[in-house]
């Protein structure tokens, strides 16, 4: 009598004892490992896999399974702050700081006294050193939280005066108007879409005014017959009437960058008289997701003591990464922003030679709502559009820019050390595509 070949399929307990499976259990839960075992056994039961190959297939499958399903991506789009790819990539120092902070850390303790201390002292000190114009700093979960906390603490139940030209949608359907109104503050819109004058703000100031708000319109630009009011002029009016002025920078430069003359920065806004600025940690600051509040110590203190501050508290990993980003060498975002065009061209030519593509001029972008009109001159390797899918689903995953019927590989945001991996990935994708 012929034995059922399915009886030769290795049993779960023998598979669990394989060294590859024991090793995988340091990275994956018992349930996840059993699920993999069951899946491979099922393939053998269906006849898709020989019983003799079950152990090796399982080992290969588990070896390829990372503890997180978030797949690292080589960003070949030329867009530096790419929201769908997690915005700013952390530098080596920030990544190391995150690893160090993964265990127990003194995030809220003074180890000398053994007493509780203010959360995130190091990150605060690093920010104040990088932006001495600020009297104090507070870190929260993200830029939107910083803005919500500021408007809540300063204007809940009262009015936030803001220009109609600055009521923006910051992406994925999130509107600043909705965000601010969710805090219980009332929006007092002044001016028009294209022109707002100082007297529009001044006429609106009254006993119900909680604060003035100046928002950087980030991802859009009004040109032509347009006027807005500079922070300095608004600050003078705010001071005269005894109301605070918030400047929402959006992106997060701490000091001016000559490459981005129209991008606001914290130092300039505070020097011009803003009482507090709010900014985003993972846009041009180049750090982790975080919200940054910088400015007058009495106002920062008021925000820190507000009950909402607890609901938007920043996590210890982000604090570690932010401190390391601000106090450390230039972040990858800064490096990619200032990438040398000649070097980009040489790298693109090497890639084109290796894989057989054409080098074309290609502008990179800041992304993430930053400096929308500013092109960053560089180069890309032009490949057939059909290669984009195998590139995305290959290993490593590579995201090209699909444009005009082509897949464009821009090396601006690819660490140069990864060029050999990128070349291999493109070759593999061309072979598959």
Closest CA to 421 of 394, 384, 400, 381: 394
Q: Does 216 participate in binding ligand PLP (rule CB under 6 A)?
A: yes
Integer Cα distance of 175 and 43 in angstroms: 49
Near ligand PLP by CB under 6 A, which window of 25-33, 115-123, 143-151, 223-231?
143-151
By CB under 6 A, residue 152 contacts ligand PLP: no
Residue 279: CB partners within 8 Å, gap ≥ 6?
A: 143, 146, 248, 249, 250, 251, 252, 253, 266, 285, 291, 292, 294
User: Cα(255)–Cα(270) distance, rounded to whole angstroms?
Assistant: 10
As a whole number of angstroms, the distance between CA 412 and CA 379 comes to: 8
Nearer to ligand PLP, 25 or 220 (CB): 220
Alpha-carbon torsion, ordered 254, 259, 262, 264, to 10 deg: 0
In terms of Cβ atoms closer than 10 Å to its own Cβ (0-12, 13-18, 19+), residue 340 is exposed
Nearest approach, Cβ of residue 308 and ligand PLP (Å): 15
Q: Is 147 in the site for ligand PLP (CB under 6 A)?
A: yes
Q: CB nearer to ligand PLP: give 291 or 328.
A: 291
Query: Is 143 among the residues that bind ligand PLP (CB under 6 A)?
Result: yes
Report the alpha-carbon distance of residue 54 to residue 163 in Å, rounded: 66
Q: Which is nearer to ligand PLP, 147 or 333 (CB)?
A: 147
CA distance 27 to 23: 8
Nearer to ligand PLP by Cβ, of 291 and 367: the residue is 291
How far apart are alpha carbons 266 and 132 in whole angstroms? Answer: 10
| Site stretch for ligand PLP (CB under 6 A), options 63-71, 139-147, 188-196, 318-326 | 139-147
Q: How far apart are CA 213 and CA 196, in angstroms?
A: 13
Task: Give the total of residues touching ligand PLP (CB under 6 A).
Answer: 13
272 vs 414, beta carbon nearer ligand PLP: 272
Taking contact as CB under 6 A, which single stretch among the options 141-149, 186-194, 305-313, 351-359 is the one that binds ligand PLP? 141-149
**The one segment of 97-105, 189-197, 210-218, 376-384 that binds ligand PLP by CB under 6 A:** 210-218
By CB under 6 A, the residues from 232 to 251 that bind ligand PLP are: 248, 250
Contact between residue 413 and residue 81 where contact means Cβ atoms under 8 Å apart: no
Angle at which helix 341-355 crosses helix 419-432, to 10 degrees, equals 40
- Interface characters, 315-354, with ligand PLP (x: CB under 6 A): ----------------------------------------
Binding positions for ligand PLP, 25-44, rule CB under 6 A: none
DSSP string, 12-73: HHHHHTSHHHHHHTTTS-HHHHHHHHHHHHHHHHTTSS-GGGHHHHHHHHHHT--SS-PPPE
Touching ligand PLP, residues 159-198 (CB under 6 A): 170
Window 363 to 382, contacts with ligand PLP (CB under 6 A): 369
Which of 77, 133, 142, 268 touches ligand PLP by CB under 6 A? 142
Q: Does 265 bind ligand PLP (CB under 6 A)?
A: no
Give contact residues for ligand PLP (rule: CB under 6 A).
142-144, 147, 170, 215-216, 218, 248, 250, 280, 291, 369
């Amino acid at each position: 009598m012929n034995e059922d070949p399915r009886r030769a399929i290795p049993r779960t307990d023998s598979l669990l004892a394989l060294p590859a499976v024991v090793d995988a259990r340091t990275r994956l839960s018992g349930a996840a490992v059993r699920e993999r075992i069951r899946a491979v056994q099922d393939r053998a039961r269906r006849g898709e896999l020989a019983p003799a190959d079950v152990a090796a297939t399982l080992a290969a499958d588990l070896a390829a399974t990372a503890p997180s399903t978030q797949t690292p991506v080589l960003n070949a789009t030329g867009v530096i702050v790419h929201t769908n790819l997690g915005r700013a990539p952390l530098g080596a120092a920030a990544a190391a700081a995150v690893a160090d902070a993964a265990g127990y850390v003194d995030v809220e303790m003074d180890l000398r006294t053994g007493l509780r201390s203010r959360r995130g002292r190091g990150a605060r000190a690093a920010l104040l050193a990088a932006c001495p114009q600020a009297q104090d700093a507070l870190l929260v979960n993200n830029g939107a939280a910083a803005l919500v906390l500021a408007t809540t603490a300063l204007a809940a139940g009262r009015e936030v005066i803001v220009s109609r030209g600055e009521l923006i949608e910051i992406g994925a359907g999130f509107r600043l108007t909705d965000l601010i109104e969710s805090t219980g503050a009332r929006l007092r819109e002044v001016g028009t879409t294209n022109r707002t004058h100082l007297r529009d703000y001044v006429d609106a100031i009254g006993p119900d005014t909680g604060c003035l708000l100046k928002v950087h319109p980030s991802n859009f630009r009004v040109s032509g017959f347009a006027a807005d009011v500079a922070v300095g002029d608004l600050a003078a009016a705010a001071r005269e009437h005894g109301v605070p002025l918030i400047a929402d920078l959006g992106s997060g430069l701490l000091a001016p960058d000559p490459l981005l003359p129209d991008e606001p920065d914290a130092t300039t806004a505070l020097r011009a008289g803003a009482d507090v600025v709010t900014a985003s940690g993972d846009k041009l600051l180049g750090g982790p997701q975080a919200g940054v509040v910088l400015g007058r110590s009495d106002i920062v203190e008021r925000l820190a003591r507000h009950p909402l501050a607890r609901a938007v508290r920043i996590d210890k990993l982000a604090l570690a990464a932010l401190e390391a980003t601000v106090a450390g060498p230039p972040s990858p975002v800064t490096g990619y922003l200032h990438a040398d065009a000649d070097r980009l061209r040489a790298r693109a030519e090497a890639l084109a030679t290796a894989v057989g593509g054409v080098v074309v001029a290609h502008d990179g972008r800041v992304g993430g709502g930053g400096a929308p009109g500013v092109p960053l001159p560089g180069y890309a390797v032009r490949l057939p559009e059909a290669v984009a899918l195998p590139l995305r689903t290959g290993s490593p995953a590579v995201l090209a820019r699909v444009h005009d019927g082509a897949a464009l590989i821009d090396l601006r945001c690819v660490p140069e050390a990864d060029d050999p991996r990128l070349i291999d990935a493109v070759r593999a994708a061309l072979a598959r595509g």
